[in-house]
Structures are given as structure tokens and as C-alpha cells.
Amino acid sequence: MKALRHLCLTLLVSLPLGVTAQSAGPGKPADFLDKEFHRQRREALRQKLPAHSVAVLFSNPLRNRANDVDFHFHQHPDFYYLTGYREPNAVLLLFSEQQVINGVATQEVLFAQPRNPQRESWTGKRLGEEGVKQHLGLTHALPATAFANLKLDTAAFDQILFLELPHDLRNDPGDKADLYDLVAQFRQKIGLKPGQDFAHQELYQIIRMYGGQAGDRVQQEVRRQMAANPDLGSNVFLKSYAEAKDASARAALVANMPAEKFDLSALEKILAELRETKLPEEMKLLRKAIAMSAIGQVEVMKAMHPNMSETEVQGIHEFVYKKYGAEYEGYPSIVGAGNNGCILHYIDNEKPRLGNELVLMDLGAEYHGYTADVTRTIPANGKFTPEQKQIYELVYAAQEAGFKECKVGNAFNAPNTAAQKLMADGLVKLGIIKSPEEARRYTMHGVSHYLGLDVHDRGTYGPFKPNTVITVEPGIYIPEGSPCDKKWWGIGVRIEDDVLITENGWENLSAAAPRTIKDIEATMAKPSPLDNFKLPELR
Ligand code: GLY
Ligand code: MN
Ligand code: MN
């Protein structure tokens, strides 16, 4: 009924709003990654495929916002990395050896949204299969409507690799080859019954990636899921993993895991290896995204005053990004004054007046796919109070300790270990906690993640490699009502910078955003072009 109403409204009023065919090509900015980059990435992935295998990747779907309005489309980062394609409703197949697809010998084929002049007149130009070949350089492309008839002879492949299939797709009745249809057709091709899932492969994936020496928690999770799901309870491998006596028994099992015909972990692992280290073309875009995000912090520091709202602060950052040509924010912007700054991912940003609070601002521009992730915490009135200063200085020192661990070969967790120790000792010294073990109450999150096409980017979490970008972002959050002196309540501080790990050390890519108390207060004392930007009162 809802679908019918949707269709009627669509025909009467308009086509759904919100999708734009964003494709590299004529009339687009010239500094996108070029087709040679994406070709090389596909080639690098194929080199890592097991023999006699195929990797199947789906684009993102178009998501509905409300009624006949859709969200702005954002491509799946893996799909973008491998193709440069920026439209929904597509599927990519990469073969380890050449195959003949509809009479064409090829190692790759992209099933693309078909051209549709009527829809394109509402939502923008589509590349279509010819455009995909011409502008993106795929050797073979077909319309997505041809995927239904593709004979995927599963017996001819030793392994079929794909990522977790989306479970939450909407079926557009007017489109016979939207992502809902493509995923359903794929499930049928590989013999998956409707509703049948991959619970055991999903567990295999977790075990393969994290379940060896350090897999205590993974083992507990396996036991929990086996108890809850009888299908898993009878799986021989999972049974022996659940019963493994110690870390070395677990590691031995992980080393000898059976290869799966339908494998949900191999592709994820390959993509993590590829995306963890950045190529020079990627660094150019990532540096731009980070530079404009740091400049956004500077402009807000100059413009901020206690009468501003959290939303207005957000708007200034995002205006700076747009002025530099960034398409999106890399994640929903976080602007939290006072106690709101103690909510780690506070995105409501609705406090009407900052007052004299500390304001935590965690925002990042996304520029041509690559996202920054920069946080500064500043006093709305331009001057830190003594308590704010003490917490800020502790977080600052923890970040410095974290930076020192950003060295090739160090464990991924090294910055976190150093920063957490410093904060725990410091919180004891300030009398906020009695022993370092209590610190995690106020320092709830880890200090680093990879950064790139995703804000929490893919990576192996192994020892640091050169040309990797990570964040170093310690934080202390003391919400109102915490069991400590009231003078600390409502102080939330995070300082987050984006760090490139190089052969010889590290580079702070977001250093242009002031970070010391002295520099922040000096920047906040400067005039802003927005000081004289007055709008009429709304009645
Ligand atoms: N902005 C999200 C994060 O810092 O991880
Ligand atoms: Mn972060
Ligand atoms: Mn952040």
C-alpha cells in the first residue's frame, strides 16, 4: 500500500528527490582520482585473489529520507576505490582468471545503472555502461538489468568472495534492477534461500581476523552465538574453536581454518591491506580535506562568542568546507557545549546558546571521497577556566605521548597505551579518581583509527606501515553527576589530529588548527569576517 502510494505520488508530483548522478567526467572537478588509479587498484586486488575465484562487490543503495525524498547518494567506499563509479544500484565482478561474459573475454565487469533520459532529466546524468567504459576505464560493462541473466556457474569457482550482504534494502517497484533486486539475484545465483544467512561465515570472518592469540573475547562471542543458534551449535570447526584451551590452541586452529566456498572474510582482509597504506594520489586529496578542516577550526575560533548556538558553529565549519569545494562532511558534525561535549558522538547540535562553556568540535570535510577527522575543544568566551585548563593540559600531554608512538613497526595500539597511561595517572593526581584502573570511566574510547575514504577506515590493525594515516585523539569526559568534585562537571575535552606515518617518523596533517592553550586563546582574540555579518531578526 505504501509502495503504491509512493508510486502514485511519484507519477503525479515528481520523481524522487535527492539522487544526483555524480560521475567523474565532463563538467566535474578535474582533481578526482583518475581512471588509471582505479584500474591499478582493481589490478592490485586481483593479484591478491585466490586462484579460481571471483570477488563480487555491490554499490550502495539510494536511501529514503521521507516520503518521496531520498538522501543524497554516497558511494560505498570499497566500490568507489575500485571503480570511481558514483551512482547507486550497481555490482562489480572481479575474476582471478579471464572469463567470457556475454561474449567478451574479461577479468572484470561492472553492471551499471542503465541510462534513462526521463529519470536523468530529474536527477542528473548517468554514465550507463558505455560511459563506464569510456570514463572509468572498465574493460567490460553491462546494464544492471542484464545481471539477472548472468550465468554465474558457482561450480566453476573454488571461491566466491563478497562482503556482508546488506539486509536493509528497499524495493523500488519502478526499478527492476535496483540494489534490492541485484542482491536478491545474487543470492539466488549462489543458492542462498530467502532468509538463509551466513551466520557461521560471519563468525569465521571475525575468528580469522581477530580470533588467534588475543582472541579471548572472540572465543566468548563464539560460545554465546553457538548457544543462541542451533545451526551454529552443530558446526564442527566452531565447536573446536569454542573448546580451545588457550591462546596457542586458538592460534593453531586459526592457522588451519578451512577455506570456504562463500568467503566473507578474504575480501575484507584484502581491502584492509590495500586501503591501509595511501598512494600519493590519495594523499593529495586527504591532505586537502584535512587542511580545509583545520582552517574551519581557525575561522570558528575567531568567530565564536557565547551568544552563538551549536548549530551556528557547525554551519561555519561546513561553510568553510563548501567554499573549498568539499562535497560532504565525512561524518555527522559534532558540536557540543559543556555537558553535551561529554557525549562522544553528540550530533544534535541544538543548544541555542554556548554561554561560557567549553565547546567540543569534532568535524571533518570529505573532499572527493577522502575525509578528515579533526577535533578542537575551546572556551566559548575565549579564556579557559583553571579547571578546564587542567583537564585540557592533561589531554594535550596524552596526545603528545601518543604522537611519539607513531613509528613504523610499532603496534597499532601503542599510541593508545601511552595516552591512556598518562591520562589515568593525571586523573589520580587531580583527585578525580583514586586509582588508575578507574580512569576508563572518563576516557571511554581508544585513541586511534585509520583515516581515508572512511572516517574509520579499513586497515589490518597490524604494526604501523609507512604511508598510513591514523588519528591520535585522546579525550576526557566528566559528565554532570560524576563521582568527583562538582567543579569538574560538564568538562569534556577531546583533541584530535590526523597523522601520517612516514618511513622516518610522523607528520601532523592537521597542525594548522591551533592546539596549545596559548595559541587557541590568541586565535580567539583575533577579529573574524563574521563579526560584521548581521542578519535581520526573524519574527
Ligand atoms: N569523529 C569520529 C571519531 O573521532 O572517531
Ligand atoms: Mn576520530
Ligand atoms: Mn573525530
Whether residue 493 contacts residue 426, with contact meaning beta carbons closer than 8 Å, is answered with: no
pLDDT reported for residue 6:
36
- The strand pairing partners of 360, in sequence order, are 336, 377
Q: Using the mean position of ligand 1's atoms as its centre, give its distance from the Cα of residue 317 in Å.
A: 16
pLDDT beyond 60 at 179: yes
- The strand pairing partners of 478, in sequence order, are 491
Q: Using the mean position of ligand 3's atoms as its centre, give its distance from the Cα of residue 479 in Å.
A: 19
Say if ligand 1 is within 6 A of residue 473 CB: yes
pLDDT reported for residue 209:
76
Say if ligand 1 is within 6 A of residue 178 CB: no
Specify the DSSP class assigned to residue 136: I
Ion ligand 3 — residues with CB under 5 Å? 362, 373, 496
Q: Which of 81, 80, 67 is nearest to 170 (CA)?
A: 67
pLDDT beyond 70 at 12: no
Q: Which of 331, 349, 444, 451 to mutate to test the pocket of ligand 1 (most atoms within 8 A of CB)?
A: 331
What angle do the packed helices 266-276 and 35-48 form, to 10 degrees?
130
Q: What are phi and psi of 104, to 5 degrees?
A: -115, 125
- Mean pLDDT, the chain, whole residue set: 92
Q: For residue 473, which atom of ligand 1 is closest to its CA? A: 4
pLDDT reported for residue 112:
98
Q: What pLDDT band is residue 328 in, cutting at 50, 70 and 90?
A: very high
Say if ligand 1 is within 6 A of residue 373 CB: yes
Distance CA 305, CA 353 (A): 9
Distance CA 124, CA 65 (A): 19
Say if ligand 1 is within 6 A of residue 455 CB: yes
Nearest residue (by CA) to ligand 1, atom 3, is 373
pTM comes to 0.90
pLDDT reported for residue 259:
76
pLDDT reported for residue 26:
59
Q: Using the mean position of ligand 2's atoms as its centre, give its distance from the Cα of residue 456 in Å.
A: 7
pLDDT reported for residue 291:
98
Which of 7-11, 103-107, 442-446, 487-491 is predicted with the least confidence, judged by mean pLDDT?
7-11
pLDDT reported for residue 17:
44
Q: For residue 362, which atom of ligand 1 is closest to its CA? A: 1
| 64-66 and 358-363 beta bridge pairing | unpaired
Q: What is the DSSP string of 380-448?
A: TTS---HHHHHHHHHHHHHHHHHHHT--TTS-TTHHHHHHHHHHHHHHHHTTS-SSGGGGGGT--S-S-
Q: For residue 496, which atom of ligand 1 is closest to its CA? A: 4
pLDDT reported for residue 312:
98
Q: Which of 319, 356, 354 is nearest to 335 (CA)?
A: 354
**Which helix (H) or strand (E) is 334 found in, with range?**
strand 334-337
pLDDT tens readout for residues 473-526: 999 999 999 999 999 999 999 999 999 999 999 999 999 999 999 999 999 999
pLDDT tens readout for residues 21-47: 344 555 678 899 999 999 999 999 999
Q: For residue 494, which atom of ligand 1 is closest to its CA? A: 4
Say if ligand 1 is within 6 A of residue 331 CB: yes
pLDDT beyond 80 at 19: no
Whether residue 102 contacts residue 188, with contact meaning beta carbons closer than 8 Å, is answered with: no
The reply to whether 11-190 and 277-524 are identical in fold is no
Q: Which of 349, 324, 209 is nearest to 269 (CA)?
A: 209
pLDDT tens readout for residues 63-91: 999 999 999 999 999 999 999 999 999 99
Report the amino acid identity of residue 243.
Answer: E
Q: Using the mean position of ligand 2's atoms as its centre, give its distance from the Cα of residue 444 in Å.
A: 13
Report CA torsion sign: 420, 421, 427, 433. Answer: positive
Say if ligand 1 is within 6 A of residue 172 CB: no
Distance CA 453, CA 278 (A): 10
Q: Using the mean position of ligand 1's atoms as its centre, give its distance from the Cα of residue 414 in Å.
A: 19
Specify the DSSP class assigned to residue 89: S
What are the angstrom distances between the C-alpha of 196 and each of 125, 160, 192, 222?
37, 17, 6, 19
| 334-337 and 370-371 beta bridge pairing | unpaired
pLDDT reported for residue 415:
98
Domain ranges of the chain: 11-190, 199-258, 277-524
Alpha helices in 139-243 (DSSP H): 179-189, 199-210, 216-228, 230-233, 236-243
Which of 13-17, 228-232, 323-327, 451-455 is predicted with the least confidence, judged by mean pLDDT?
13-17
Whether residue 94 contacts residue 79, with contact meaning beta carbons closer than 8 Å, is answered with: no
Q: For residue 363, which atom of ligand 1 is closest to its CA? A: 1
What cell numbers appear for 294 in the block? 583545520
Q: What pLDDT band is residue 14 in, cutting at 50, 70 and 90?
A: very low
Q: Using the mean position of ligand 2's atoms as its centre, give its distance from the Cα of residue 496 in Å.
A: 7
Domain 11-190, second-level architecture: 3-Layer(aba) Sandwich (3.40)
Distance CA 83, CA 227 (A): 41
Is residue 507 helix, strand or coil?
strand
Is residue 218 helix, strand or coil?
helix
pLDDT tens readout for residues 296-317: 999 999 999 999 999 999 999 9
Say if ligand 1 is within 6 A of residue 496 CB: yes
- The strand pairing partners of 22, in sequence order, are none
Q: For residue 334, which atom of ligand 1 is closest to its CA? A: 1
268: Cα separation from own chain's centroid: 14
CATH number assigned to the domain with residue range 277-524, chosen from the 4 options 3.90.230.10, 3.40.190.10, 3.30.930.10, 3.40.1280.10: 3.90.230.10
- What's the average model confidence in pLDDT over 336-357? 98
Distance CA 8, CA 351 (A): 40
Whether residue 87 contacts residue 113, with contact meaning beta carbons closer than 8 Å, is answered with: yes
pLDDT reported for residue 167:
85
**Which helix (H) or strand (E) is 492 found in, with range?**
strand 491-494
pLDDT beyond 70 at 11: no
